[in-house]
Amino acid sequence: MSQQPGTSGLIFNEPQLWDKSRKGRCAMSLPKLDVERVELDKTLTGDPPDLPQLFELDVVRHYTRLSQWNFGVDSGMYPLGSCTMKYNPKTNEVQAARQGFASAHPLSGDEFSQGALELMFNLEQYLAQITGFDAVTLQPAAGAHGELAGMLMIHAYHAKNGKQRSKILIPDTAHGTNPASATLCGYESINIKSGPDGILEPGTIAAVMDEDTAGIMVTNPNTVGFFESNIKKIAEIVHSKGGLVYGDGANMNAIMGIVKPGEIGIDVLHLNLHKTFSTPHGGGGPGSGPVAVVKALEPFLPIPRIKKELDTYKFITDCQDTIGRIHTYYGHFGIMVRAYSYILSMGAKGLEDASKLAVLNANYVKESLKGTLNLPYDKPCMHECVFNDKFQNKYHITTMDMAKRLLDYGFHPPTVYFPLVVDGAFMVEPTETESKEYIDQFIHAVKAIAKEAKTNPEKLKKAPHLTKVTRLDEVSAARKPCLCG
């Protein structure tokens, strides 16, 4: 496919519904009244709400046109780094929509929820097997919530052992939510700089790890796109001082089926089911952030927990050392159904192949754009590769300019200015679901934009040109936001 997906074709305008409203129109046929019509007392109801009056075609076209303004993974490539914005098989949506799951009520009780409980119990077992841990909770609502649950368990562990600690080590290549989760548990975050090759060095950890430090939060693979190859040695250093190792598993999409974090020194790990295990990611949720733990932390898992007795499943709450309930009911069940369907349909080999293809695709992008964009760390990456705008700076073109221009080529921009350890970062994660043809289109677009930085920088600085809304004044939007709606 040599043709770019971007186009200057028809883009519909769409006014507000109130502008289209005409008195007396109705989008549905109401049944004839079988009782006498009675006017309500306006002193009780007040004036009727100002709702638009539309006919059926108005409604259908309105929402169809609005949907065409959106961009999603079903529309085209979505190369956001550290987010795993991958295409998810529609069969997982079908399973989650089955009436027995979609209509299940959280107050039905164990007796009438055996199917849901069995699914959640089995999902816990699968996730434990995939990650190499002893126990799993599905309760956290998303990744950051899982982080908080993990840190609460670390906090409870140290309290149980008789001496609470005050600090937590957090590398500069960790996800930004890690310090927040630690702070909510009362810990002071100690920033740790990564080495010259983008990964942690054991000597750096040994120099700061002491008996007042609760542990370390490690994102692995990290936000620069590299596997922390010294993780076992680092875990040994932390454990020798009585600390624990928290693993941010948001990037599990690169290692599932290949590396088991629970077998390389990690004590507690959160997963993002809405990234790695199939959910339409984005738009604010919902998500799911299960937490896996080693045996020593199992008593601190949140309640309720699911227990199997013979062929019956039930919730249990009599767990003395639990950190308590951290979510209404048990979690986002629909996301669990999708993840369960994904794991069953992929199988062990499929999950491993997904990780291998994600890594292959990222390295293909890295090698193809090396020389076009600057590569701060020139070595094999995992699921994502990080460039920056050093080559384009001499033409006064920034990462943001290039990201905006990509919209004209029909691509969602990659992650920009993150991770913070790379100045002017341009992070690309193609995931395993993009074919070589789509990736080649993306590579061709980036190369064309880099060429334009030399030949026509003024046009590039005003991009995008073909979108519904062109370049916005983002500085004014940030400093003088319009909050009136």
CATH code at position 388: 3.90.1150.10
Query: Does 443 lie in the same domain as 311?
Result: no
Query: Does 128 lie in the same domain as 269?
Result: yes
pLDDT of residue 308: 96
Query: Does 197 lie in the same domain as 216?
Result: yes
Query: Does 321 lie in the same domain as 206?
Result: yes
What is the β-pairing status of strands 385-388 and 312-316?
unpaired
Condensed to tens digits (0 to 9), the pLDDT of residues 366-385 reads 999 999 999 999 999 999 99
What angle is formed at CA 219 by the lines to CA 363 and CA 329, rounded to 5 degrees? 120
Query: Does 340 lie in the same domain as 211?
Result: yes
Query: Does 412 lie in the same domain as 312?
Result: no
Distance CA 437, CA 117 (A): 42
What angle is formed at CA 472 by the lines to CA 468 and CA 477, rounded to 5 degrees? 130
What angle is formed at CA 446 by the lines to CA 443 and CA 448, rounded to 5 degrees? 110
Residue 137, H or E segment:
strand 135-137
- Kindly indicate the confidence band of residue 426, based on its pLDDT and cuts at 50, 70 and 90: very high
- Report the pLDDT averaged over residues 156-177: 95
Average pLDDT, the chain: 93
3-state class (DSSP) for residue 43: helix
Instruction: Residue 430: count other Cβ atoms within 10 Å of its Cβ.
Output: 30
Domain end marker among 325, 345, 365 = 345
Query: Does 364 lie in the same domain as 307?
Result: no
pLDDT of residue 9: 75
User: Which range (23-27, 115-119, 395-399, 428-432) has the least confidence?
Assistant: 23-27
Percent of the chain with pLDDT over 90: 80
Residue 42 within any structural domain of the chain: no
Residue 283 has pLDDT above 70, yes or no: no
Helix ranges (H only) for 185-332 are 202-208, 231-240, 273-276
- Kindly indicate the confidence band of residue 285, based on its pLDDT and cuts at 50, 70 and 90: low
How would you list the strands of the sheet with 188-192, edge to edge?
A: 135-137, 291-293, 268-271, 244-249, 213-219, 167-171, 188-192
Q: Rg for the chain (alpha carbons), in Å? A: 26
CB 319 within 8 A of CB 301: yes
pLDDT of residue 328: 86
**Total residue length of the chain:** 485
Residue 18 within any structural domain of the chain: no
Residue 268's identity, in one-letter code, is V
Distance CA 226, CA 286 (A): 28
Residue 86 within any structural domain of the chain: no
Query: Does 341 lie in the same domain as 372?
Result: no
Q: What residue numbers bound the domain in which 440 lies?
A: 353-473
Residue 69 has pLDDT above 90, yes or no: no
- C-alpha 475: how far from its chain's center? 26
User: Which range (82-91, 373-382, 405-414) has the least confidence?
Assistant: 82-91
CB 299 within 8 A of CB 152: no
Residue 485 has pLDDT above 60, yes or no: no
pLDDT of residue 453: 97
* The token pair that represents 273 in the structure block: 């089911």
β-bridge partners, 388: 374, 425
* Per-residue DSSP letter, 299: G
Residue 484 within any structural domain of the chain: no
How many domains, in total, are found in the chain? Answer: 2
Condensed to tens digits (0 to 9), the pLDDT of residues 387-397 reads 999 999 999 99
Residue 42 has pLDDT above 90, yes or no: no
- Report the pLDDT averaged over residues 168-187: 94
Burial-class residue 44 by CB neighbours within 10 Å (0-12, 13-18, 19+).
Answer: exposed
Distance CA 27, CA 25 (A): 7
Torsion of CA 444, 445, 449, 451, to 10 degrees: 20
* The token pair that represents 392 in the structure block: 């384009």
Residue 3 has pLDDT above 80, yes or no: no
32: Cβ–Cβ under 8 A, 6 or more apart, which residues?
none
CB 435 within 8 A of CB 375: no
- Report the pLDDT averaged over residues 466-472: 88
Task: Print the SS3 string covering 401-425.
Answer: HHHHHHHHCCCCCCEECCCCCCCCE
β-bridge partners, 189: 168
Distance CA 138, CA 143 (A): 11
Place of tokens 């499929």: 350
pLDDT of residue 284: 62
Domain end marker among 345, 366, 396 = 345
- C-alpha 422: how far from its chain's center? 21
How far lies 408's CA from each of 70, 192, 254, 306, 373, in Å? 14, 39, 30, 50, 19
Distance CA 427, CA 417 (A): 8
Torsion of CA 424, 429, 430, 431, to 10 degrees: 180
3-state class (DSSP) for residue 98: coil
Distance CA 381, CA 401 (A): 25
- C-alpha 22: how far from its chain's center? 42
Residue 204 within any structural domain of the chain: yes
